[in-house]
Amino acid sequence: MTPKLPRRRTPSPTDRAAIDAAAKRLELGSQPSSPGDDAQEVGTATDRALNPAVLVRPGSMRIDSEVVDPASPADPEGVGGEGSNEFAALSTSAQPVPLWRQMLEVYLQNKLAIASTFVLLVIVLGCFVGPHLYVTNQTNANSILGAVDNASPSAAHLLGTDNQGWDELGRIMYGGEYSLTLGFFAGLITIVIGTIYGMASGFFGGITDAVLMRIIDAALAIPYLFLLVALVSIFHNSTTFLLLVIGLTGWWGNSRIIRGDALAIRDLEYSLAATSMGATKAHVIRRHVFPNSISNVVTVGTFSIADAILALSALGFIGFGIQQPAVDWGTMMNFGTQELIENYWWEIYPVAVVFVVVILCINYIGDALRDVFEVRLRQR
């Protein structure tokens, strides 16, 4: 539990730096370091610029994990010893490898993740740039007046037309713009709200935590799709509303995960140390709790985007999606299912494949990101 401390003056910038330096040292664990390392590290200009405390306390070496890799300097030649680990081996030069480079390397070693990123980029580019290369009119209902409905794929319509005469390939790209944009921003909203709520709940603990989490219990007890349908049937389902309803209802699970992180980090030595030196609660959250739960924020955020796209498509599939003439992938699949009995495969399989591939790619990327953040954990 956080010890109750008398209220102090707001720490000055120098105080803050000292607090951070001390806390970071605790944060990075108690790997023993030889005196030689100190000399080398304290000498780096970046450290001095970032942390005046270094000048005061030469012993405080590992100042900022974002700037200095703690593994490599301990063993610059890579000949093994106390601080040597697999990340030291990654760097062939004596220069310390920045953390982001290590993370990138772990990410790039994951072939499935690279493939997913590549495929996802192709699909996103296809949806946003494609319509300029493969020009079809998807917004003007007059353009489909003379069109043939349910035309099979041909040179004029690469993927045929749907049951209203819209060009199917153009429709996939146009629907993708809506599905991806709405999914991305709704996912973003869920993770922002989930993070703030979860942090508040976990950090303040006690009765606040109990109340906030009981609210989440109640919210999670309503099966999600039923809740969405209830909300959509009461409020008008405009595009903005769909964005808001998915964004404002999708964060409950997220907040639980972030709360778990905040609860654990709040009681770790470095947070207690910062508090004992007079850091305000806001400061501890900003500088210690949030940065150390960033891995879950990012991975959960990635999955949230997939979940938001799924929720939007589920709504579209049961007929509560984006209104005509705009369209989303779920609505397209809804219309496609109705024509499936006629064996008009081009109206549903292409869009379903693109849709499932997008969800799969985002989930794979989320999995890979989780591994990437393990780098930080292993450093300690």
Which residues sit at the interface with other proteins, rule CB under 8 A?
A: 214-215, 217-218, 220-227, 229-235, 306, 310, 313-314, 317-320, 330, 333, 336-337, 340-341, 343, 345, 348, 352, 355-356, 359-360, 363
Least distance (Å) from other proteins to the CB of residue 340? 6
Is 64 in contact with 24 (CB distance < 8 Å)? yes
Q: How far, in Å, CA of 199 to CA of 266, rounded?
A: 10
Q: Of 217 and 374, which CB lies nearer to other proteins in the complex structure? A: 217
Tokens at residue 208, please?
């606040």
Smallest distance from the beta carbon of 316 to other proteins, in angstroms?
A: 9
Q: Looking at beta carbons only, is 26 or 360 nearer to other proteins?
A: 360
Residues ≥6 apart with Cβ < 8 Å to 183: 305, 306, 308, 309, 312
Q: Residue 307 belongs to what H/E stretch? A: helix 294-317
Packing angle between helix 206-221 and helix 252-266, nearest 10 degrees?
A: 160
CB 346 within 8 A of CB 172: no
User: Taking the complex as a whole, how short is the minimal distance between the CB of residue 224 and other proteins, in angstroms?
Assistant: 6
The answer to whether the peptide bond before residue 3 is cis (omega within 30 degrees of 0) is no
50 or 310, CB closer to other proteins? 310
How is residue 285 annotated by DSSP?
I
Of 67 and 357, which has the nearer Cβ to other proteins? 357
Q: What tokens does 24 get?
A: 């970071």
User: Nearest approach, Cβ of 335 to other proteins (angstroms)?
Assistant: 12
Phi-psi region of 80 (alpha: psi -120 to 50; beta: other; left: phi over 0): left
| CA 128 to mean position of chain CA atoms | 21
Q: How far is the CB of 348 from other proteins (least distance, A)?
A: 7
Q: In angstroms, what is the minimal distance from the CB of 362 to other proteins? A: 9
Q: At 66, phi and psi to the nearest 5? A: -75, -25
For the bound state, the minimum distance from the C-beta of residue 109 to other proteins, rounded and expressed in Å, comes to 18
